[in-house]
Structure 1
Amino acid sequence: MMHKINDRFYIFGGVKGLVRDGDELRKELLEKRPDIVFITIAPEQVDGMKEFLEDPFEMNLSDYEILYGINLSRYGEVMTPSPVYIEATRYCKENDIEMIGLDMDEGDYQIIYSKYVKTTDLLRHSMRKKKVSKYKFDAETPEEFVESWNNVVDLKSFKKVNAERKKYIIERIDSLQKEYSDRNIFCIVDYDYYKDVLNHFENRY
């Protein structure tokens, strides 16, 4: 799903892993023809996606990532890495434009993670896998599923980490949008953060 903020700034929200959203993103990128792309992954992941596009490799998935994919597949074809990430990287490579990661780098993330997530949280999170594997998600759309998944899976400590990430992402978009105000910006946001990012910029404009 895409939203026009102004003539030089578009925000696209995509469900992580869903092929449908990768196809939709590709279509929007080719139509809007941005000359810079922001995306809600870490800088290290931007480099990783470029490497994957050059030489695809098998990705190791956590148990939770596998469960997420199994449940998401009820709504359409699923693949990893996320098709949204693949199509964003492909467009930038084909058009020789910059793709900037909006999420925290590994160092900053570890600081926030250590601040909120304790050993007991990790144990509880690990023990919840069996419960989650049996949970019946009754969402009607993939977007509703993502919201339900986050509510079911994330402990309070993980929600605090994600709240910090969301705050960081919004502040970074604010800063970068000012820095590149003379460019046609296309901002790609995981659906997990899409509503909050969109609300922030709609309220500003």
Structure 2
Amino acid sequence: MKRVFQFNINGKEVLFFGTIKGLVSEREKLKELFKDFKAQVMFLGISPEELSGLKKYLKEPFDIDPEDYEVIYALKLEKYGEVGLPVPTYLEAFAIAKEDGIEIIPIDMPDEEYSDLFVKTIDFFHIMRFNFRKRKVWRKNFEADTPEEFVMLWDKEVNKIPQYRKIENERERYMGRKIKELLRERTEERIMVIIELERLYGVLDNLNLLQTT
């Protein structure tokens, strides 16, 4: 599955990298991509609050308690390589930014906006269904030969409840709008966008870029 795309958008070179959250080997992939592309700024598919949290973690590491689905995801992802938390790709992005003196800009929904969307979309019964499905997801045999196949199958399974899928679609729309906004505002000519693979194609579709590939 293709997960690196490069486009010229209004005279700016923009490289998209769909990362596999959790895999430690993704750090090296990001490092190589950055070295070859020579990005001047990075847009990261996390919220402003997550960005602040990562900054605090790097200054003074603290224990992270993953949620149940995150634990199941990590245990199944281990089939494809070493797994780490926080997301290794994002940690590498910070390391690169510090070494090269470039800025990281979050492009995902702020927590307050996400919370409002969640409350409007998800009710008590949706939450109950979501929680009841944990055992089924744990027992499910994801027939995937590669980590790319696995994360796409995982995303499809976890978001089978339409309301949860709607939230992910809204995240893709938001990130697409944010990227457009930043491309108008920023002066850098070489931009790297790092997004979880599960959301990459939706974001590209919202930017009307898929038909150009």
TM-score interval (norm. to shorter): over 0.9
Residue number in structure 2 paired with 1:105: 110
Paired residues for 1:60-71 under 5 Å: 60-71=65-76
Which of the numbers 157, 176, 195 marks the counterpart of 1:189? 195
Q: Deviations over 1:10-40 (max 9, x none)?
A: 1111111111222100121133221211010
- Alignment of 1:2 onto 2:4: yes
Counterparts of 2:183 and 2:78 in 1: how far apart (Å)?
35
- The Cα of 1:181 is off from its aligned counterpart by 4.7
Alpha carbons 1:5, 1:202 under 8 Å: kept: no
- Alignment of 1:201 onto 2:206: no
Secondary structure in 2 matching 1:25: helix
Q: 1:43 to 1:118 in 2, by over 3 A?
A: same
Q: Is there any run of 5+ residues in structure 2 with no aligned partner, and where? A: none
Q: Deviations over 1:83-117 (max 9, x none)?
A: 11111111112222211111000110011111111
Residue number in structure 1 paired with 2:34: 29
Secondary structure in 1 matching 2:175: helix
Q: Note the aligned Cα RMSD (angstroms).
A: 1.7
The percentage of counterpart residues that share the same residue type is 32
Residue number in structure 2 paired with 1:57: 62
Residue number in structure 1 paired with 2:94: 89
Counterparts of 2:28 and 2:14 in 1: how far apart (Å)?
20
Alpha carbons 2:41, 2:188 under 8 Å: kept: no
- The Cα of 1:3 is off from its aligned counterpart by 1.9
Q: 1:68 to 1:144 in 2, by over 3 A?
A: same
Counterparts of 2:109 and 2:211 in 1: how far apart (Å)?
24
Residue number in structure 2 paired with 1:164: 170
Counterparts of 2:31 and 2:162 in 1: how far apart (Å)?
35
Moved over 3 A (4+): 202-205
Q: Deviations over 1:154-183 (max 9, x none)?
A: 221110111111100011111111212543
Normalised to the residue count of structure 2, the TM-score between the two structures is 0.90
Secondary structure in 2 matching 1:8: strand
Counterparts of 2:138 and 2:188 in 1: how far apart (Å)?
48
Alpha carbons 1:53, 1:90 under 8 Å: kept: no
Which of the numbers 166, 177, 192 marks the counterpart of 2:183? 177
Counterparts of 1:88 and 1:201 in 2: how far apart (Å)?
24
Secondary structure in 1 matching 2:95: helix
Q: Is there any run of 5+ residues in structure 1 with no aligned partner, and where? A: none
Aligned residue identity for 2:118: Y
Secondary structure in 2 matching 1:59: coil
Counterparts of 2:186 and 2:158 in 1: how far apart (Å)?
37
Aligned residues: 205
Residue number in structure 2 paired with 1:153: 158
Secondary structure in 2 matching 1:111: helix
